[in-house]
A and B are shown apart, each in its own frame.
Chain A
Amino acid sequence: MSHDHDHITHADEPTVAGRVGALAELLVEKGVLDQETIRARIDWLVSRTPADGARLVARAWLDDAFRQRLLDDARSAALEVGIDPGPSPVVVALENTETAHHVVVCTLCSCYPRSLLGPPPDWYKSLAYRDRAVSDPRGVLAEFGLTLGDDVEVRVVDSTADVRYLVVPQRPPGTDGLDEEALAALVTRDSMIGVARPLAPA
């Protein structure tokens, strides 16, 4: 059966866009899909944002019991604050400490905790990141401007299957007295992947 892709090239975006549109139309016409389900899915995708993950981290910084619950069962903890990452894929939170720093990758494709962070950045899905995050993590972190001391153990987490990992970065110094909202504003997407620290307070 013909499966000709000569016309799909990296540069030819209007052609690809047109083909995707045509595919959606065709599938809806055939009754394989319906507009409502597609629409709902689009709405879900565009509403996912790192702000959800950041709230969990900020609450964990403020409330030690919550932090423990987050590490034990991230979904239950998220539900407590009105965020539902869904039952699948499973999300597991891993915390950074003075002596351990986690960084997440999916060497096989692009697995990422989208329900809590939104869509992954292009570099996360890139061949180069998937290659060297596991084989030269300190080199990769240096490319992102992050240097860790020799006394810090770097732990690269390769999300190969049905579990997605969220990094809980360390609380920055000088943030005593900040409330949850102010703390959440310091928690960047990249700090929850593990390639950056959270922001310093103003």
Chain B
Amino acid sequence: MKRAVHDRGGWGDETPIDRTEHELADWEVLMDAIVGALSARGVMNVDQLRRGIESMPPKEYEHTSYYERWLYSVELILSEKGVLLPGELDARVAT
């Protein structure tokens, strides 16, 4: 049975575990807080967050950082809900 890209138990990759740790950057803490706040406000829940992450194209999933995946998901879910309008965040970033 085919496995979705996030379903990693026994996936079969022999890569050694990289034990390097990094302190969370401010943007990562903020990303986490945004999700927590959206959840507290009832705008987006953890199941939606996970569903959004799981919908990433497999290559992207495997090559983006943890909180980048959260950002992807939040944009997807909030766009679905019409909370974010198309191009709105791009426009804001550009200013």
Tell me the A residues contacting B by CB distance below 8 Å: 1-5, 8, 10, 13, 16-27, 30, 32-34, 37-39, 41-42, 44-46, 105, 107-110, 119, 121-123, 125-132, 134-135, 140, 143-144, 158
Contacts and interface: CB of A to CB of B under 8 A. Distances in A.
A45 B83 contact: no
A110 B53 CA distance: 12
B74 A23 contact: yes
Interface string B64-80: 11111001101110010
A131 B74 contact: no
A19 B68 CA distance: 10
B76 A128 contact: no
B11 A19 contact: no
B6 A108 contact: yes
Contacts of A121: 19, 21
A130 B25 CA distance: 23
A107 B79 contact: no
Interface class of chain A by DSSP: helix
Interface of B: 6-13, 15-22, 24-27, 29-34, 36-38, 40-41, 43, 50, 53, 60, 62-68, 71-72, 74-76, 79, 83-84, 86-90, 92-93
Nearest to A37: B37
A2 B9 contact: no
Contacts of B18: 122-123, 126, 128
B85 to A, nearest CB: 8
A131 B86 contact: no
B29 A131 contact: no
B30 A158 contact: no
Contact of B29 (A2, A45, A108, A158): A45
A17 B26 contact: yes
Given A26-B89, A122-B20, A38 B33 contact: yes
